[in-house]
Chains A and B, each alone.
Chain A
Amino acid sequence: MKWIAILLLAGIGLARADSPQRVPPLPKYQQECAACHLAYPPGMLPAASWKRLMGSLDKHYGTDASLDEVSVREISGWLQTHAGTYKRVSEEPPQDRITRSQWFVRKHSEVDPHIWKQAAVKSAANCAACHTAADKGSFRESEIQFPKGLDARFRRNWSD
């Protein structure tokens, strides 16, 4: 029995080290935020960015995403607890946008800038267009897929 527990703990430790942003989503976060966009892993932004974001939901990147006070408090607390602290997200990206983070830009340097604007993708904020398990907080290389409906001319610089 003991060895099962040890193995399980070791497994959790490995998963953490491998992808620090994988946190089971708070149901309220899922309900309120994922109605309009992917439930972005809280570890993708530092605490200060989340704080600013949750303090200005009525002007949320050009739209009104205002919420009742109780929900704001619950979601904010959870985001603060699970905000990114590891090296690559320690800096606050311009406009608190995940897509402007240095690590994001670097990771997507091989993506043709025109791809983001295609109807099948819409914007760089639409992670799920290529990351098939993004809604589960997983962004593994092996899960990346050429977006459905994307013009075949973008195939040539695609390596799936």
Chain B
Amino acid sequence: MSCIRTAARALMLAAALAGTVWAGTPQEQLSALSAQACRSPSAAQGQQFFNATHGREWSCASCHNAQPTGEGKHANTGKSISALAPAFNPERFTDPAKSEKWFRRNCNDVLARECTSAEKADVLAWLMSLKR
């Protein structure tokens, strides 16, 4: 019950912020995802999820590297991809719409489905735990 209340509060907060200027920080996005998932994120599970394949050819690491603290490389085109961990690329996870777009696309490529809020929260928690 308390979880539902927390999630509702997070949604209301998001809606209120969206009405004004929705700058967004990795921490805000992590809080929103955790609230939706109704559990606290697990960085360890996030790391495992990121590096595993899920029934298809690619893992997240196929393009972002197992340690996404430096430049990655698109598995098909070879185009370089800037670091994914926020500590190594301050632009990452500062725009919720952009994060959602990439989660949608990449989860479809890796898992042939969208990711759950819990999966996204775990991955983000792990990415945020990577420090310089």
Contact = CB atoms under 8 A, between A and B. Distances in A.
Contact of B104 (A34, A36, A64, A126): A64
Nearest to A129: B78
A80 interface: no
A25 B79 CA distance: 18
Interface in A121-160: 121-123, 125-126, 128-129
B28 interface: no
Interface residues on A, range: 20 to 34
A32 B34 CA distance: 28
Contacts of A58: 108
Nearest to B82: A35
Interface string B95-126: 00000010011101100000000000000000
B78 A36 contact: no
B116 to A, nearest CB: 17
A122 B77 contact: yes
B20 interface: no
Interface string B52-69: 000000000000000000
A108 interface: no
Contacts of A123: 76-78
B115 to A, nearest CB: 12
Contact of A122 (B78, B101, B109): B78
Nearest to B79: A37
Contacts of B104: 64, 66
A61 B109 CA distance: 11
B114 to A, nearest CB: 10
A64 B107 CA distance: 9
B109 A36 contact: no
A125 B76 CA distance: 9
Interface in A24-72: 34-38, 58, 61-68
Contact of B79 (A36, A61, A64, A65): A36
24 contacts: A35-B81, A36-B76, A36-B79, A37-B76, A37-B77, A37-B79, A58-B108, A61-B76, A64-B104, A64-B106, A64-B108, A65-B105, A66-B104, A66-B105, A66-B108, A67-B101, A121-B78, A122-B73, A122-B77, A123-B77, A125-B76, A125-B77, A126-B77, A129-B78
Interface of B: 73-74, 76-79, 81, 101, 104-106, 108-109
